[in-house]
Amino acid sequence: MKMVVTDFGIDKALRTLGVKAINEGASTGSNYFSNGGIIESISPVDGSLIGKVKTTTKEDFETVMDVATKAFKVWRIVPAPQRGEIVRQFGEKLREKKEALGKLVSFEMGKSFQEGLGEVQEMIDICDFAVGLSRQLHGLTMHSERPGHRMYEQYHSLGVVGIISAFNFPVAVWSWNTALAWVCGDVTVWKPSEKVPLCGIACQNIAAEVFAENNLPEGISCLINGDYKVGEFMTKDSRIPLISATGSIRMGKIVAQEVASRLGKSLLELGGNNAIIVTPDADIKMTVIGAIFGAVGTAGQRCTSTRRLIIHESICDKVKLAIVDAYKQLRIGNPLDENNHIGPLIDKDAVKLYQHALKKVVEEGGNLIVEGGVLSGEGYESGCYVKPAIAEAKPDFEIVQHETFAPILYLLKYSGNVENAIDIQNNVVQGLSSAIMTNNLREAEQFLSVAGSDCGIANVNIGTSGAEIGGAFGGEKETGGGRESGSDAWKIYMRRQTNTINYTNELPLAQGIKFDL
């Protein structure tokens, strides 16, 4: 099969990343093998076939797990700072191949080239974070109630970490998990979304180079490919103590129940229904920028995308006019053309969900002030390009309660004080990202207080989208409660052990218990 060639050098990017016309979908490093069916990677940019990937069978998975578990026994005894050095080298490889990987992310997923580059930069950043972390996997020491005893806690490597990632961030979310898992002494088995399998192949190729150059076991980084049935291989496998899964709430509930049934651990990053509260003291210019990037960035396909704009009634018309005017300036088209703001949705199924949401909000009594629609004609042949839409709605509309992965922004009005806006914001099942636009210190602090936002992320005077890797990323309620990336998120990738050492000739018991023989 001939590789797709565009004016933007996709063919060169694929060669640089070692992505072939037909790729084996299971890998234990540089060793690729697969005996399953074929996944076709179709670009939403122009509808072209980029490449094919063979899926992973149960027998392939058993081979992967055998290699991974053996690699873990070697990797876990490598000192953590030395593991950090390997992650540093991986980060350097990413720097070398940033443009190529960014282009593949953009072309296979459909996000803008700048966002593709930004996603690879996130990978580089988490590698830098993990390198420093490799010398800071601290436990605690504590005083014993028994004389001549010392107590402390330490963290040990957990084992094989299973990673299930979504299409919208095809490489970054994997790296959040992988970089931390590796410095913690774990090995990883990754199932990328079947919608973006080539990004997984590319990342595995880069990782394999690093491990080969350092004479380390290939199984430290493993890859499997396929649909949800392949993911079930991991969720049901007791050899995998931790499953980190990113996706829909529906998917997360299935994963959580399956993993819990075998008393495994799950790290879930699920849906978001994120809102920005705009108070009378808001800076309108900043609000417009934050809201628009949040709503249309990645064509509204971020878990942190802004879905709801909750505006005080006194400034609602002013904000509405400013945003509608700004939407007129948006350019939609090939995401590798940096003149464009918005690329396509991931596939035609996503387009159908977008159309359903627009129909539903009107049926419930909403008003489309910026009408959407599917674009056609030259440059839009894939059928995946849609217009960003804005709808005036009410908070209790059923469609507003749900997350639609598309560039649809709901304008909601509130009256009275900021507590009313916070109530509206919190009155959804999701709890990922939130923001308030205000220059009023009291409102800002109230939003961040225990009685304020119930989300895992709460921002003041920035939007809901665009988290930095230094802070723990994740949400509450049906978003899953997981935390990835920065802060102390590393702890879930390790097992904690409490140790007590008696350095006396006596054996006193705790709580003063007497047991004389």
- Kindly report, residue by residue over 350-407, the tens digit of the pLDDT: 999 999 999 999 999 999 999 999 999 999 999 999 999 999 999 999 999 999 999 9
Q: How confident is the model at residue 305 (pLDDT cuts 50, 70, 90)?
A: very high
Question: Which residues have a Cβ under 8 Å from the Cβ of 161 and sit 6 or more positions away?
Answer: 177, 181, 186, 187, 188, 189, 240, 241, 242, 243, 244, 493
> Which residues of the chain are in CATH 3.40.605.10 domains?
10-270+480-496
User: Which CATH number is correct for 274-470, 3.40.50.970, 3.40.309.10, 3.40.50.1970, 3.40.50.720?
Assistant: 3.40.309.10
Could you give the percent of the chain with pLDDT greater than 90? 96
Which whole number is the average pLDDT over 337-347?
96
Question: At residue 71, what are phi and psi to the nearest 5 degrees?
Answer: -65, -35
CATH entry 3.40.605.10 includes domain 10-270+480-496: yes
Q: List the Cα angle 222/304/392 in 5-degree steps.
A: 145
> Which residues of the chain are in CATH 3.40.309.10 domains?
274-470
Query: Residue 118, SS3?
Result: helix
Question: Which residues have a Cβ under 8 Å from the Cβ of 262 and sit 6 or more positions away?
Answer: 236, 238
Q: How confident is the model at residue 515 (pLDDT cuts 50, 70, 90)?
A: confident
Which of 235, 186, 200 is CA-nearest to residue 83?
A: 186
Q: Which pLDDT value is given to residue 512?
A: 86
Q: What is the pLDDT of residues 422-463, one digit of tens each?
A: 999 999 999 999 999 999 999 999 999 999 999 999 999 999
pLDDT above 80 for 86: yes
Let me know if 377 is exposed, middle or buried by CB neighbors in 10 A (0-12, 13-18, 19+).
exposed
Which whole number is the average pLDDT over 250-258?
98
First-residue to last-residue Cα distance in the chain:
80
Q: Check if 316 is active-site.
A: no
Question: Which residues have a Cβ under 8 Å from the Cβ of 430 and sit 6 or more positions away?
Answer: 249, 270, 271, 272, 273, 274, 403, 475, 477, 478, 479
Question: At residue 214, what are phi and psi to the nearest 5 degrees?
Answer: -110, 10
| Residue tagged active-site, from 115, 218, 269, 478 | 269
Q: Check if 269 is active-site.
A: yes
CA–CA distances in Å: residue 114 to residues 43, 119, 336, 338, 344: 17, 9, 8, 7, 14
- Distance from C-alpha of 55 to C-alpha of 65, rounded to nearest angstrom: 16
Locate the DSSP E strands across 216-359: 221-223, 242-246, 265-269, 274-278, 306-312
- Distance from C-alpha of 227 to C-alpha of 251, rounded to nearest angstrom: 12
Q: Which pLDDT value is given to residue 480?
A: 98
Q: What is the pLDDT of residues 25-54, one digit of tens each?
A: 999 999 999 999 999 999 999 999 999 999
- Distance from C-alpha of 44 to C-alpha of 374, rounded to nearest angstrom: 13
Q: Are the C-beta atoms of residues 164 and 268 closer than 8 Å to each other?
A: no
What's the length of the chain?
A: 517
Q: Which pLDDT value is given to residue 7?
A: 46
pLDDT above 60 for 219: yes
Specify the amino acid at residue 90: F
Which of 280, 233, 278, 282 is CA-nearest to residue 255?
A: 233
Q: Which pLDDT value is given to residue 8?
A: 53
CA–CA distances in Å: residue 179 to residues 16, 184, 265, 491: 22, 9, 19, 13
Q: What is the pLDDT of residues 63-78, one digit of tens each?
A: 999 999 999 999 999 9
Q: Please identify which residue in the block is written with the tokens 């409490």.
A: 498
| Residue tagged active-site, from 184, 203, 222, 303 | 303
Q: What is the pLDDT of residues 470-514, one digit of tens each?
A: 999 999 999 999 999 999 999 999 999 999 999 999 998 889 888
Helix axes 172-183, 197-213, angle to 10 degrees: 30
Q: What is the pLDDT of residues 93-135, one digit of tens each?
A: 999 999 999 999 999 999 999 999 999 999 999 999 999 999 9
Residue 367 in tokens: 């008003």
Helices (H), 184-283: 197-213, 228-235, 249-261
pLDDT above 80 for 4: no
